Amino acid sequence: MRAVEILERVKNIRVLVVGDLILDRYLYGNVERISPEAPVPVVEVEREEVRLGGAGNVANNLASLGASVYITGVVGDDRGGDQILSMLKERGIKPLLAVDTRPTTEKTRVVSRSQQLLRIDREERRRVEGRTLKKIREVIMDTDCDGIVVSDYAKGVITEETIGAVKSKGVFFAIDPRPVNRDLYKGADLMTPNEKELRAMTDPLSDENVEVLGKRLKEALGVKVLVVTQGPKGMTLFKDRITHFPARAREVYDVTGAGDTVVASLVAFHLAGASWEEACELANVCAGIVVGEFGTATVRPEEVLRELEKG
């Protein structure tokens, strides 16, 4: 079975993730009453959970598929930074991080009965500079890897300087983009915007279809391969020709982090020797698995094979 061969080869690849690390914090509880202070629900917190988000989730997905993974980015000298470091090490990911004066980026989600009630963001989005930038550039240049994933959440890590270091490395590199940094992505080997990001990077007011806009963006940025994710409509591959892959999800529960899973799995399978068509088929399976779970999630090889056996 071809999928078995590809998944086995993933164990031999080394990937460096460069980007914005985020700590995803979840507060789970019950709502039994409305506050007497204001017309808002009172959540009685029963448990708290932390997960790797942003670039950390990309790295976690790569590691879960079996790749050897390194990661660089920024954390603060705080509890959140310590938690990210601890989780990375637990998952066998090599953290090569810069500790900055800014706080660790955190997204806290308040959840009751599987329904997200509120999200609280703690972040500072200024561009990295000085010793922090120097550390990240050194990691990029010194890390021996087969490919790089740039995970851009527009929190300040992805700049002209960091992208310049990535490009000068001379290895395969993929970008999960944010429209605000569009012009930094020229010449990428792979870019994976969702449909909303695609439209923002081409013409937000246009009613043209994904095929037209994707071809325009690919040509404008000189991207070698473009994969546009479209939620329940699947994904579209732009290479020498355009190929659409219907979604594989049986039930969409939560799309949080699905884009991280897609870029991680596409890179893992491509570096393992899969054709882009094979990589998209397998990435579609991976995306279908994670959207069936709440919050950021990862996929193991045995889950992929199990889904493929189901047809």
Active-site residue set: 260
Task: Give the integer Cα–Cα distance in Å for 221 and 224.
Answer: 9
Q: Is the dihedral of CA 209, 211, 214, 218 positive or negative?
A: negative
- In DSSP terms, 244 is beta-bridged to 236
Task: Give the integer Cα–Cα distance in Å for 96 and 35.
Answer: 45
Question: Is residue 12 within 8 Å of 272, Cβ to Cβ?
Answer: yes
B/e letters for 47-85, b = 16+ CB within 10 Å, e = fewer, are eeebbbbbbbbbbbbbbbbbbbbbbbbbbbeeebbebbb
Give Cβ neighbours of residue 220 (< 8 Å, ≥ 6 apart). Answer: 202
| Structure tokens, 31 | 């709502």
Task: Give the integer Cα–Cα distance in Å for 248 and 94.
Answer: 32
Residue type, 238: F
| Structure tokens, 147 | 């490919």
- In DSSP terms, 151 is beta-bridged to 19, 176
- In DSSP terms, 173 is beta-bridged to 148
E-strand stretches of 82-143: 94-95, 98-100, 106-112, 115-122
